[in-house]
């Protein structure tokens, strides 16, 4: 489904025509890029897989005649985060979507510490550096700025069997919802997007088997529509249904329920 004209007009009027999406080579980020491209936004897209990045750039340019800058890099490495900052210095990025991220699952005691640190670097450290940088840059824009952070439903309580992943998203959610208020005086809108399960490359990399999952196209539409409207969006019908059902459960109960859900997602790991 295309974005409605009044949404496109509102976004362009508020934030101008350039946007950045990290992690655009697959899943939610790719759908966000296609949706914004279709709506006439010029894009900076990133990801490690250069072949997929270049193919997406070509698709966006040919189909929607927008300007696209593709910057390949591993954002868990600070040097590549700095490279991204340098390569976008000349652009007036009004919408910055920090979407690149991954998860791990299984027993914390058995986890690979290098993988967990790598996840912390990508999901938290890169998000911190890029939020700080682009927020400062947005202060000089003639229009407003918007920063979107990819949180998750797992951000709102501890989640046994996805312990460190949930903790990284709790960091993102906390950062984003505080900045939402703090940045009102800076004319920067901050949105946390907190999906439930979505059908993307995420589950294979996290070694999770999800029973049901939302379509990333619907998630992308819901996220874009929420920019500038609220501090946190629970995108998609499945996410809303799950959040609604958990709304009366105290935090200690949610930890247990989410732990059971994650146990189901990871039961294939038990030999
Ligand atoms: N899918 C879900 O159920 C779900 C639920 C809640 C929240 N989320 C969050 O949504 C975001 C997008 O995930 P997704 O579901 O769309 O998963 P995905 O299909 O695996 O996409 C992840 C994107 O991040 C990029 N990425 C991964 N590691 C990277 C690195 N080291 N450096 C730079 N880019 C990297 C990937 O590109 P390359 O591989 O080319 O680098 C890819 O474009 C993540 O932050 C995730 O935590 C997902």
Model confidence pLDDT, tens digit, residues 12-21: 999 999 999 9
pLDDT at 29: 98
pLDDT at 156: 96
- Tokens standing for residue 267: 């039961």
Please say if the pLDDT value at position 25 is more than 80. yes
d(C-alpha 129, C-alpha 258), whole Å: 30
Which atom from ligand 1 is nearest to the alpha carbon of 23? 43
**Looking at residues 125-152, what average pLDDT do you find?**
97
Task: Report CA(206)–ligand 1 centroid distance (Å).
Answer: 10
Task: Report CA(142)–ligand 1 centroid distance (Å).
Answer: 31
Task: Report CA(103)–ligand 1 centroid distance (Å).
Answer: 8
d(C-alpha 97, C-alpha 18), whole Å: 11
Task: Report CA(90)–ligand 1 centroid distance (Å).
Answer: 26
pLDDT at 249: 95
Report the range of poorest mean pLDDT among 35-39, 78-82, 231-235, 237-241: 237-241
**Where on the phi/psi map is residue 17: left (φ > 0), alpha (ψ -120 to 50), or beta?**
alpha
Task: Report CA(202)–ligand 1 centroid distance (Å).
Answer: 6
d(C-alpha 233, C-alpha 173), whole Å: 11
Which atom from ligand 1 is nearest to the alpha carbon of 30? 43
- Tokens standing for residue 227: 């920019």
pLDDT at 79: 98
pLDDT confidence bin for 2, thresholds 50/70/90: confident
pLDDT at 199: 96
d(C-alpha 38, C-alpha 225), whole Å: 14
pLDDT confidence bin for 134, thresholds 50/70/90: very high
pLDDT at 270: 83
Contact 142, 96 (CB under 8 A): no
Per-residue H/E/C for 94-162: CEEEECCCCCCCCCHHHCCHHHHHHHHHHHHHHHHHHHHHHHHHHCCCCCCEEEEEECCHHHHCCCCCC
To 5 degrees, how large is the angle CA 209–CA 110–CA 119? Answer: 70
Which atom from ligand 1 is nearest to the alpha carbon of 213? 3
Please say if the pLDDT value at position 159 is more than 90. yes
**Looking at residues 75-99, what average pLDDT do you find?**
98
Mutation choice for ligand 1 from 81, 100, 151, 164, CB with most ligand atoms inside 8 A: 100
**Domains of the chain by start residue, with CATH:** 17-269 (3.40.50.720)
Residue nearest to atom 43 of ligand 1 (CA): 23
pLDDT, the chain, mean = 96
d(C-alpha 203, C-alpha 260), whole Å: 17
**Looking at residues 210-216, what average pLDDT do you find?**
93
Mutation choice for ligand 1 from 27, 76, 192, CB with most ligand atoms inside 8 A: 27
Residue nearest to atom 1 of ligand 1 (CA): 198
CB within 8 A of 217, min separation 6: which ones? 1, 31, 35
The DSSP 8-state label assigned to residue 4 in this structure reads: P
- Tokens standing for residue 83: 């490279």
Percent of the chain with pLDDT over 90: 95
Please say if the pLDDT value at position 1 is more than 80. no
Task: Report CA(109)–ligand 1 centroid distance (Å).
Answer: 24
- Tokens standing for residue 137: 């840059």
Which atom from ligand 1 is nearest to the alpha carbon of 29? 16
Pocket-forming residues, ligand 1, beta carbon under 6 Å: 23-29, 47-49, 52, 74-76, 99-103, 122, 150, 152, 195, 197-198, 200-202, 205
């Amino acid at each position: 489904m295309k974005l409605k004209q009044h949404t496109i007009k509102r976004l362009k009027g508020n934030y101008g025509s350039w946007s950045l999406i990290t992690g655009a080579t697959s899943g939610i980020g790719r759908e966000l890029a296609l949706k914004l491209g279709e709506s006439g936004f010029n894009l900076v897209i990133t990801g490690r897989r250069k072949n997929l990045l270049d193919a997406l750039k070509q698709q966006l340019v040919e189909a929607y005649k927008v300007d696209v800058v593709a910057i390949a890099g591993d954002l868990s490495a600070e040097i590549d985060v700095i490279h991204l900052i340098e390569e976008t210095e000349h652009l007036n990025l009004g919408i910055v979507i920090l979407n690149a991220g991954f998860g791990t699952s299984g027993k914390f005691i058995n986890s690979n510490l290098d993988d967990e640190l790598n996840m912390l670097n990508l999901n938290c450290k890169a998000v911190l550096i890029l939020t700080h940088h682009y927020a400062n840059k947005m202060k000089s824009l003639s229009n407003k700025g918007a920063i979107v952070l990819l949180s998750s439903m797992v951000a709102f309580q501890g989640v046994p069997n996805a312990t460190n992943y949930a903790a990284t998203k709790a960091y993102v959610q906390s950062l984003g919802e505080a900045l939402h208020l703090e940045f009102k005086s800076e004319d920067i809108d901050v949105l946390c997007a907190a999906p439930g399960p979505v059908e993307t490359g995420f589950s294979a990399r996290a070694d999770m088997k999800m029973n049901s999952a939302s379509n990333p196209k619907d998630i992308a539409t819901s996220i874009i529509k929420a920019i500038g409207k609220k501090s946190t969006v629970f995108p998609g019908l499945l996410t809303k249904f799950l959040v609604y059902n958990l709304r009366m459960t105290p935090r200690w109960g949610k930890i247990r329920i989410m732990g059971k859900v994650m146990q189901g997602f990871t039961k294939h790991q038990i030999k």
